[in-house]
Structure 1
Amino acid sequence: MEKAKTGIIILAAGESSRLGYPKQIAQYKGKTLLQYAIDAALEAKVEKQILVLGANKDEIKKTFRGDSIPNIPNQDWEKGMASSMQKGLDYLLKFDAPDQVIIMLCDMPYVDSKLLKKLIASQKKTGKGIVACEYSETVGVPILFTKAYFKELKALSGDEGAKKVALAHEDDCALVKFPMGKVDVDTEEDLRDLNL
């Protein structure tokens, strides 16, 4: 059987209102949070990656090599996460359409390429249409969807995220344990805790 083509969408369009400045450029151990996400996506060695920017995009773009990963703006970022996810998906589908996509965020510093590869391996092994990370008694991102779910992802609106689709199809969802998934950065305090 042919290897499934995978695309990765990094969502980095939010305003970081609780932090007070773009969390994408917040520093952790000498790197920006966004750079951790970009490195993980690139090191996963999948067919395509796309970074979706929105608020403060010009400021954020100065912090990483523009040619390291394709990036697109989401003018509608204020409408919520669903619009950024759909922008990324539309971009990937326009070219060499992937068989599956992984959706990830830019504020989870413990996400690495090993975890992303684990999602892909789990999909191959289980044949499930969705592979989600499991942490804090819930499921969440990074999360993989096969193309059977692209239509549903495109139907989301506002701040509805990928988790909604995963919870609606628990019978077709494999889980990968990722306890550190509970760590994300929304406030200055989160960043301080991370840097301890």
Structure 2
Amino acid sequence: MACRTCRGRCPGVSGVAAIILAAGASRRMGSSKPMLPWDGTTLISWELAQLQDSCAEEILIVIGNRSEAVRRSLGEAAKYTVFNQRWPQGRATSLAAAARSMIERGLRPDAIVVQNVDQPTRADIVDHLVSELRSSGAEIVQPSYRGKSGHPVVLAGALLEELAAVKEETLGLRAVVDSHPPRIIEMDDAVVRIDLDTPDLLAEARSILGIRG
């Protein structure tokens, strides 16, 4: 996976892993978010391509609802998927499943990018946040836009075990962020606030990113 600017490795970074959480039921959208039409492909395939174009060296896509359909839509890229059988119990179970998968595979990344499938981002944003994490020595970095927190969240690899232990009833990723106050990176880019909860927000997000359906 080659980073556009640093040939597979952002400056000062070793072992960047990225997680896409794509297991949910997409109830408010009314259709499967991972398979939404997005710039001539599906949303999940577009997000995967962005991460492949970033400094991420390992990518995990956590699936649950309509898992076989999502796998088929990914084709050969289905190799990146991790199935979370507990997905109906909440997003935290998917994050924990991804972290446990990394631990079981012996992966010890220096930085972990956590991205929700309904919050698409670009490769350059991922690269910038990872670089900020390493240069600042922070445990967590999070972008903001006009003073409002955004995504994705990037965490130091030392927090991997904490991610593996998150639970929905104790606020999941939010509990980790609250325990390790993040370095906030103010960005002049509305992309970090995109959230595809409804069809109206989907249209707005496509406009912000210049994406066709």
Q: Which TM-score applies when normalising by structure 2?
A: 0.80
Residue number in structure 1 paired with 2:63: 53
Residue number in structure 1 paired with 2:17: 7
Residue number in structure 2 paired with 1:101: 112
Give 1:179's aligned amino acid. Answer: A
Residue number in structure 2 paired with 1:162: 173
- Range moving further from structure 2, 156-165 or 37-46: 156-165
Q: Equivalents in 1 of 2:177, 2:61: separation in Å?
A: 22
Identify unmatched segments of 5+ residues in structure 1.
none
1:119 CA displacement: 1.2
Residue number in structure 2 paired with 1:187: 198
Q: Equivalents in 2 of 1:71, 1:33: separation in Å?
A: 15
Of all paired residues, the percent bearing the same amino acid is 23
Residue number in structure 1 paired with 2:163: 153
Give 2:44's aligned amino acid. Answer: L
Contact 1:11 1:106 in 2 (8 A): yes
1:30-78 per-position Cα deviation (integer Å, ceiling 9, x unaligned): 2221122111111114221111001011112222223365111100001
Q: Equivalents in 2 of 1:14, 1:105: separation in Å?
A: 10
Residues 1-196 of structure 1: pairs in structure 2 closer than 5 A: 3-67=13-77, 69-95=79-105, 96-109=107-120, 111-135=121-145, 137-158=147-168, 160-170=171-181, 173-177=183-187, 178-195=189-206
3-state SS of paired residue (1:40)? helix
Give 2:58's aligned amino acid. Answer: K
Contact 1:140 1:163 in 2 (8 A): no
Give 1:41's aligned amino acid. Answer: L
1:5-50 per-position Cα deviation (integer Å, ceiling 9, x unaligned): 1111111001001112101111133222112211111111422111
Contact 1:50 1:71 in 2 (8 A): yes
3-state SS of paired residue (1:72)? strand
1:133-186 per-position Cα deviation (integer Å, ceiling 9, x unaligned): 21363334311111332233233211734244223322x534252432222211
Give 1:139's aligned amino acid. Answer: S
Q: Equivalents in 1 of 2:43, 2:201: separation in Å?
A: 12
Give 2:112's aligned amino acid. Answer: V
Q: Equivalents in 2 of 1:24, 1:38: separation in Å?
A: 11
Contact 1:83 1:157 in 2 (8 A): yes
With over 3 angstroms needed to count, the CA separation of the structure-2 counterparts of 1:192 and 1:3, relative to structure 1, is closer
Give 1:180's aligned amino acid. Answer: V
